[in-house]
Each structure stands twice: as C-alpha cells, then as structure tokens.
Amino acid sequence: MPVTLPLKFNAGKVLYDEDTNECTPAQTPGEIIIEHSPEGEGCYSFTWRPRGKDQNVEGDELFVFQGDVVWKKINSCKSGRVYMFAFLSSGAKHFFWMQDPNGFATEDTDDEALLSKDSPRDLELAAMIKEVFSDGQDE
C-alpha cells in the first residue's frame, strides 16, 4: 500500500557520544516530517523540528535520495525506543527517540523490557519509512 506523504510523527533527538557509544535523549519535544523534495522523483526531505514551547532549538533538514538511507531500531537501548536514521553513502547517522507512549510502560515504569518495546504505531512507521526510502532493489 503506497504511503501518503507528508508523514509526520513525534520524535526527539538523541545525542550520541562516539567515544563512549552512549545515547542521551534530548528533552526537547520534536516532530519528524518526511515529504517529497521539489528536486524530483526519488528525492525526499527528512526534517526534524522542535514542537511546543521550546522554539529556540534549531531544527534539522536532511536531503535524502531513495535507496540511500535506513531507519533501524537500536535494540541495545533499554530505556526507551531509539531509532537510527543512517545514510548508506556517507555513513552519517542521526538518532531519534519515539516520544509518544508505547502503551506498555507508564511514567513510573523502570521495567526495561516495557520501556523499549515498540508500539504498534512504531512498527507501522518503520514499515512506512522503509517503503518510502526503498529503491525496490531489496524487495
């Protein structure tokens, strides 16, 4: 089933320390928007921007070619649902944490299995992102 763009969902940025391999979620509420780029077919815009009151934080806009990126769950993160958006051509990586509740954990939950469990929406988004950015060669 074709994905309708723009695709929008709540996600925060994750700060990644290459020296320690640790991810720290930024507290700023954010939103990811994936839409067609005016550059033409197979080109997309992947934008992260702050939402809510914290508008002093700068957003990011990434230009993406179909077939050059992956959206992958970071299973080693046990305190939430973290995903990596990685460019295959350059190796550049961007990390995001899903900010909508997963329906399994509450605010006072410290059960790592519940905190990191994907919601049905997370799984749906991952499938849609894969479909949008797939060039059809891995089918």
At 60 the pLDDT is: 93
How far apart (Å, rounded) are the C-alpha atoms in residues 6 and 33? 6
Q: Which domains, and CATH codes, for the chain? A: 7-133 (2.30.29.70)
pTM above 0.85, yes or no: yes
Q: What is the sign, positive or negative, of the torsion defined by CA atoms of 130, 131, 135, 137?
A: positive
SS3 assignment, position 103: coil
Q: pLDDT tens-digit profile of 59-90?
A: 999 999 999 999 999 988 877 899 999 999 99
At 139 the pLDDT is: 45
Rounded to the nearest integer, the mean pLDDT of the chain is: 89
The 10 Å Cβ neighbour count of residue 85 is 22
How far apart (Å, rounded) are the C-alpha atoms in residues 26 and 97? 9
Instruction: Tell me if 71 sits within 8 A of 83, measured CB to CB.
Output: yes
How far apart (Å, rounded) are the C-alpha atoms in residues 137 and 101? 34
